[in-house]
Amino acid sequence: MENIAMNRKAIHILSEWDPFEMGNFTYDTEAADVVAELQHIDDPTVLGKKIQGIYEQSFERWIPIEECIGISYKLLAVKFEAKCIV
């Protein structure tokens, strides 16, 4: 059950992140891919690089790695919070 709550929180964080400033556009596919990566990555730099690659592959636009690592810290905080709740 904790995984479902973690995934929902992660999807929410990603849905509020608009790296290309596209307004009401949704990044559902990319968010799902990032959450899949989040399941087995605990390093913010590694996750940040994965995020950068996922969004770049979809949009053929580059996001600065600092932005991707910033969002990865938020996602990892949700992951570690979920692991600590018993």
In a domain, 39, yes or no: yes
Q: What is the CATH number of the domain that holds 36?
A: 1.10.340.20
In a domain, 23, yes or no: no
Which range of residues forms the domain containing residue 38? 1-17+28-84
Residue 25, classified by CB atoms within 10 Å of its CB into exposed (0-12), middle (13-18) or buried (19+), is: exposed
pLDDT of residue 83: 73
Instruction: Evaluate if residue 25 carries a pLDDT over 90.
Output: no
pLDDT of residue 81: 85
In a domain, 60, yes or no: yes
Instruction: Evaluate if residue 23 carries a pLDDT over 90.
Output: no
Q: Provide the number of structural domains found in the chain.
A: 1
In a domain, 22, yes or no: no
pLDDT of residue 73: 98
pLDDT digits (tens, 9 = 90+) for 32-86: 999 999 999 999 999 999 999 999 999 999 999 999 999 999 999 999 987 775 4
